[in-house]
Structure 1
Amino acid sequence: MPVLVMKFGGTSVATLDRIRRAAKRVGLEVAKGYDVIVIVSAMSGKTNELVGWVNETSPLFDAREYDAVVSSGENVTAGLMALTLQEMDVPARSWQGWQVPLKTTSAHSSARIEDIPTDNINRKFGEGMQVAVVAGFQGISPEGRITTLGRGGSDTTAVAFAAAFGAERCDIYTDVDGVYTTDPRVCDRARKMDRIAFEEMLELASLGAKVLQTRSVELAMRYKVKLRVLSSFEEPSDTAGTLVCDEEDIMESNVVAGVAHSRDEAKMTLVSVADRPGIAAAIFTPLSEAGVNVDMIVQNISEEGRTDMTFSCPTDQVKRAQKALDDAKAKGDINFMDLVADTGVAKVSVVGIGMRSHTGVAAKMFKVLSSEGINIKVITTSEIKISVLIDRKYMELAVQSLHDAFELEKST
């Protein structure tokens, strides 16, 4: 039997009624002749509650016990979904990560998947089980302990299962009906795309789009897993949602596919750093060791052997970055005059595979922002992306203006 993977996020299984609605969708796919692997998240809000309990109990918690607690939310959903399907006379069984077993590294709370043996689930399919309901977000370490994959890890679980089982497709059910050209809450002219290339989706996900977890898109691109993002609250349809697929599967696309934004960014500048070989490594190694997620990096022209180094990071990591750099300065690893943090910026990006073969995108983007009186603080580019840091108060205006300028409300 062909295999289909269906993943339901927290809002899609938030109540028993919503679990029943999701189960009916699963039943429709079983009726089409699929063996179905359902990946479920915890019920909406449950993971936050569990994390809160851990922090309240033990602020300096043991990461192994943290994983034992927070993984329980998915276990509950998996059991309830299996029971609901059984009530519909659909042969279903719940599976926790260790039962599959989904093998991961030992990095608790941020483990990475190493292997998903298919023997156990395939044997049950052969014995008449039609639906395997798997608790997402969790696995088992080489030491035999429960691990979790980090927030949003159920998306990664779903894509990994689709790759391991050679699934025909992986459907990700959320509270939105697909991938949009930009956030519809920011721009009311945003358009739902029928298809988007893996590379474009990966850039949009990493730049602030919340539809899919970045790691899940990386996996899908590596293993050529067709992803479909669709809403669990709309009527089922074979053409619903947005298909994330190979560039070759898209006949024609806009030069720019979408505009992404990230509101909670900070710009940090090391003023007057010694310009010498190895200085970049001396700055960014302690930041990496402190877990600071550095994004945009700009080094100014050197004057008299000194230079300025600017980088961006999430606003909630500013204090961590400051401590790491101050500690490095105290050790004598780096020497700088001042560390200036600007926490009032936002990142706005345009993304599109068409930028590889079309010129003028950067010029058009900068002209649009200039005409709106928006000053650019930092610029970075890649083959299919241009990102800028601007004052946060202009973020929505920038997104709307760029969306209009590139006519993203129009399909090709």
Structure 2
Amino acid sequence: DMLLSTGERISCALCAMAINDLGHRAISLTGSQAGIVTDTSHTKARILDVRGDRIREALDEDRIVLVAGFQGVSTSRDVTTLGRGGSDTTAVAVAAAIGAEVCEIYTDVAGVFSADPRLVPEARKLPIVSFEEMLEMAASGAKVLQLRSVEYARNHGVRIHCRSSFEDGPGTVVLSEDETMERPLVTAVTHSTEEARISLLGVPDRPGAAAAIFGALADAGCIVDTIIQNEPLGDGRDAEVSFTIPQEDLPAAERALQTVAGSLGIAKVDTDRRIGKVSIVGAGMRSHPGVAAKVFETLGEEGINIEMISTSPIKISCVIRADRVPHAVRALHSAFDLGVAGIEPDRGPR
């Protein structure tokens, strides 16, 4: 982590030097200097607290404060990094610590879209998205904002304003659901081709087996998504458990399952990297029946087989073959008319 954090530190210092050369007073701070305290999980640390005294002091002195993202200091005083997208989380955490109403995040896209514009050219930029919708979108494959940054913003009441670094546009505002008016049925289609499925064959049908399996995965730091358990067909028969995880967690999951498979007597551990996931997200789904049926009908008409399904009150996800994901995204985006702009209030800052 000490090595991984150096890039942000160098960039932060160089940027502060450039600002000073322009005649403004700037100061650069590392994550530890800014008071970002994390747990001890190296490469995937979680922020526990932001002691923003030094930031506030510099702001009171009319200085421009630059904080190195993606890093902090653990409770045992070691340098830690926050994992992929950690700079988004740093920005939101600092904004919350100093009492900011809005955290502006500048990225390489113009905002949050109704689908990935690379797959769906007619995808619409969304002026407003609720925290709940953005959390589901980030968890289902949307890469505009990191999941933990949205979670942190929701928990601390900080709006996120996502804008482009390359053009002057209003971007997308992520805010609490009670600040939005009635939402459309479906807000966006998201996708991921970075999933893997693990199937455990011959799992003993007895209490505690699932706890042992998923406890081992949790101890290994693996994030489990969709879970399906097929019950045995008769007494004395074994069950089958399948679940999806990020591909980057697959090596750690396989190591963790080697031990638990031996102790439980699991017959076989099978892995599949050739899967993908397509999801629809929308707060309006809570009050409208028939959305799931339309999703399944649309995919069926396109000849796309659904292998696993998971749902929440505002999300439906389908696991399919990875090579069918682009087709599925375009079909669902068209089926729900997401390229047609609805009437939505623009409550975000400009």
Distance of 1:231 and 1:310 partners within structure 2? 39
Which amino acid letter does the alignment assign opposite residue 328 of structure 1?
Answer: V
Work out the number of aligned pairs and report it.
340
For residue 3 of structure 2, give the secondary structure of its aligned residue in structure 1.
helix
Distance of 1:207 and 1:263 partners within structure 2? 10
Matches within 5 A, 1:88-167: 88-129=22-63, 131-167=64-100
For residue 65 of structure 2, give the secondary structure of its aligned residue in structure 1.
strand
Task: Compute the displacement of 1:103 (Å).
Answer: 2.0
Distance of 1:342 and 1:104 partners within structure 2? 34
Q: Which runs of 5+ in 2 are unaligned?
A: 343-350
Distance of 1:106 and 1:381 partners within structure 2? 33
Q: How does the TM-score come out when normalised to structure 1?
A: 0.79
Alignment correspondent of 1:321: 253
Distance of 2:36 and 2:268 partners within structure 1? 48
1:290 to 220, 223, 242: 220
1:195 to 121, 125, 128: 128
Residues 241-297 of structure 1 deviation map (CA, whole Å, 9 limit, x = unaligned): 000011122223211111111102222222232212112112222222333322110
Identity rate of aligned residues, in percent? 46
Alignment correspondent of 1:402: 332
Distance of 1:119 and 1:338 partners within structure 2? 54
Residues 209-239 of structure 1 deviation map (CA, whole Å, 9 limit, x = unaligned): 111111100000111101011111003x5xx
Which amino acid letter does the alignment assign opposite residue 106 of structure 1?
Answer: T
Distance of 2:301 and 2:255 partners within structure 1? 39
Alignment correspondent of 1:207: 140
Alignment correspondent of 2:107: 174
For residue 298 of structure 1, give the secondary structure of its aligned residue in structure 2.
strand
Which structure dedicates a bigger proportion of its chain to helix?
1
Residues 181-219 of structure 1 deviation map (CA, whole Å, 9 limit, x = unaligned): 111111112111001000111111111111111110000
Change (3 A) 1:270 1:108: closer
2:201 to 247, 271, 281: 271
Distance of 1:294 and 1:204 partners within structure 2? 16
Alignment correspondent of 1:59: none
Which amino acid letter does the alignment assign opposite residue 321 of structure 1?
Answer: A
Residues 26-61 of structure 1 deviation map (CA, whole Å, 9 limit, x = unaligned): xxxxxxxxxxxxxxxxxxxxxxxxxxxxxxxxxxxx
Establish whether residue 302 from structure 1 lines up as the match of residue 232 from structure 2.
Answer: yes
Residues 354-405 of structure 1 deviation map (CA, whole Å, 9 limit, x = unaligned): 1111111100000000100111111111111111111112111100000000
Alignment correspondent of 1:86: 20
Which amino acid letter does the alignment assign opposite residue 231 of structure 2?
Answer: I
Distance of 1:269 and 1:116 partners within structure 2? 41
Distance of 2:93 and 2:136 partners within structure 1? 20
Q: How does the TM-score come out when normalised to structure 2?
A: 0.92
